[in-house]
Structure 1
Amino acid sequence: MNESCTIPTSPFLLNLSHVLVCLTAPVYITTCYILVFKCSPFFSQYRIVLLRHIFTCIFMEYFVDIIWQMTVVVPYSAFCSVGTGHRYPVFMFSIVVAGLCATGVSIMHMFQYRMNAVTDDSIRILKSIITGVKFYHYFMMTSCLCLLIASYNHLADQKAFKTNVQYKFGSVPSYIWCDNCMFINTDSTTVLIFVGLGASSQPLAAVYFGLSVYALKLGLQKLRKSLSQRTITTQRNFLNSLYLQTAVHVIFISVPLGIFFLTFILHIPSSEMYMSYIPMAMFTQHGSLSALALLVSNKPLYSVFTKTFLRMKTNIRETDRVSDIRGAEREHSSWNRTAVRENVMK
């Protein structure tokens, strides 16, 4: 990358997301290991749904942190990439949008699976409404991606919009003119429709999740008459774990996006550049924190986790103890041989 295109940043803040990725990698490894190799038979089908969601999160996390490695430059609200894909910022942005859509779809699949597990035809109308909302949301996401493709040239041709930004602020740093920095070109009608459609899909997703939670609550109430208390408790735990996972995604995706859109309204000086790194770190880590929430809140998985690693710890201790005993035996044997040789010499 040309030196004139280098973004002046704090090394600590720049490497913050890298450090967090290294710290959270064991979470992914542990969760996937338990789901793949230690999963109970009754959990096998739901495991596939969970793994699909986790792999989506893994892709998003490492893509954003390594390949895109984006920084929001304030007060200009510019996306500046310093990762390996910095030459193709619009393409990188498109992949992230598609990844967010895939994350949303995988969460919907988890809700759908749990709803099928605890509900019956007694709430057929409600389930039909939820299905309709789901497919309409799919339609909106598909339309959003199509609009993004149609907007590609508008997003790629940044010269005119950057000139307007320079006119607005009087002057801009030299790196803003580089290809690795892009803006959401609000001068384009297609881009505006894309942004509006993407923003409007969030309330629709909230409606879907709200209706699903209500349907799941009704299903659990009905199952109390036909299932044991232990089964009801297990199902409720699965649902609470799913709610926690979803809450993590909502918070750690919505807050950074909200802060970004606020930069269009509020003037954040360049001296407050750190404010762009913290939301990006949140956005990057939403998948690993969701996996951690699953591992901790899902009792069957947490039970397997504790048993597996306690057994490993016990085996390590036993190995160390056996090694100590064998070492002591070898030392004792060596001492005996030495004593025998000394007696012979005498």
Structure 2
Amino acid sequence: MLNETCYFEEPLDFMIIHYIALALSLIVYGISFYVLFFETPKHFSKYRNYLISHIFSGFLLDIVMGVLWKVTIVLPVPIMCSNTFISEYATIVFQLLPVCFAYTGASAISLFVFRMEAVIVHRTEQTFLRKVVKYIQYAFYVSIVLVVIGTVLIYPDLKYQKDYKLKMEKRFGTFKPYMWCDNCFFCNFDSLTFRWFFYVAVVAVVLGGFTGGFAFHVTVQALKSVSSNLTAKTRATHRNYLWSISLAAAVHVICIVLPLLGILQTINFIISLSEFRFFPFILTLVIQEHGAISTVIMFMTNNLLRGALKKMFWCEKLVATVENSGANIIVS
């Protein structure tokens, strides 16, 4: 159990913004799940399941970061401190984050591969790039397994940091008493195990990016090559779905990868901005809430989902899409 010296008073404005953002994101997820379960046509069910899995990954990250961990970065000391009802398990909660990120990446890639397969089914030949996508996807899954193994192995580097904190105290100045507790810890890059974990995570991100990028390219090329076999509305539907998930994926890159690079790799830059007290708070908030942002963009750019939202809020009849006119199998 943590004693009273391990708890700290969080800034009131941070708490207000945090809970408002968390409440708004929960509303977004609630509406999204309702629409996907009850307001979309039955022929959309297979693709819908992929969307539900992907959106759930954002919801899960929100819960882990916003409720279970609720991290505070106390600049000018770049230490991560948790102050929740399970703060004594802060290191374990931190280990859940790579798992959440891996789940998000895998679900996003599955969306791109599903769209690729939905279009490529109209072609009899097996393209070279299609095979490349499959091989890189398998490599990505292997890297995810290694990341998960790494999250277990780095536990001692997160839990037992007395020596490392002594070193950091010499660099950043005297710590406050609560910073010596287990609910506050650094990313220990002095550890070979932690560096190995970090580099494997970077490899996983790169492999995931290549998988999604190649799948996107194959889908676009396949749409062009089979255009004579598809109606204009069917091609438009495929393109709409593809661009919708592409924009949603861009949110993940901007709101996860960039803030993580800011927190993990540019500590000196962060410390130089330590006078702007909202800077680390904004970085963590962006990572936490990116799932809701991605979900909103996906619903606003996907014609069928946008129509389902209108049906729910304004009781409009869902406009029949091209899937209803004989193209069900290729989009769902």
TM-score (ref. length: structure 1) = 0.85
Alignment partner of 1:88: what SS? helix
**How large is the Cα RMSD of the aligned pairs?**
1.8
- C-alpha deviation, 1:76, in angstroms: 2.6
Corresponding residue of 2:286: 282
Corresponding residue of 2:165: 162
How far apart are the structure 2 equivalents of 1:47 and 1:33?
12
Structure 1 residues 267-299: Cα deviation after superposition (integer angstroms, max 9, x where no partner): 336433311111111111111111111211110
- C-alpha deviation, 1:206, in angstroms: 2.0
How far apart are the structure 2 equivalents of 1:9 and 1:308?
39
Corresponding residue of 1:237: 240
Q: Quick check: 12-21 or 229-238, which moved more?
A: 12-21
How far apart are the structure 2 equivalents of 1:173 and 1:92?
23
**8 Å CA contact retained: 1:75, 1:263:** no
**8 Å CA contact retained: 1:14, 1:277:** no
Corresponding residue of 2:136: 133
- C-alpha deviation, 1:204, in angstroms: 2.3
Corresponding residue of 1:37: 38
Alignment partner of 1:201: what SS? helix
Corresponding residue of 2:70: 69
Q: Quick check: 18-27 or 121-130, which moved more?
A: 121-130
**8 Å CA contact retained: 1:77, 1:263:** no
Alignment partner of 1:271: what SS? coil
How far apart are the structure 1 equivalents of 2:124 and 2:197?
38
Alignment partner of 2:315: what SS? helix
1:90 aligns with 2:91: yes
Alpha-carbon spacing, 1:230–1:270, altered in 2? closer, same or farther (3 Å): closer
- C-alpha deviation, 1:136, in angstroms: 0.8
The 5 A counterparts of 1:130-209 are 130-209=133-212
Q: Structure 2: which amino acid aligns with 1:233?
A: A
- C-alpha deviation, 1:255, in angstroms: 2.4
Q: Quick check: 168-177 or 37-46, which moved more?
A: 168-177
Q: Which has the larger radius of gyration?
A: 1
**8 Å CA contact retained: 2:91, 2:182:** no
Structure 1 residues 161-197: Cα deviation after superposition (integer angstroms, max 9, x where no partner): 1011112223222221112101112221111111121
| Residue identity (%) | 27
Structure 1 segments unaligned to the other structure (5+ residues): 313-346
**8 Å CA contact retained: 2:74, 2:80:** yes
1:213 aligns with 2:213: no
Structure 2 segments unaligned to the other structure (5+ residues): 317-332
- C-alpha deviation, 1:5, in angstroms: 2.9
**8 Å CA contact retained: 1:223, 1:232:** no
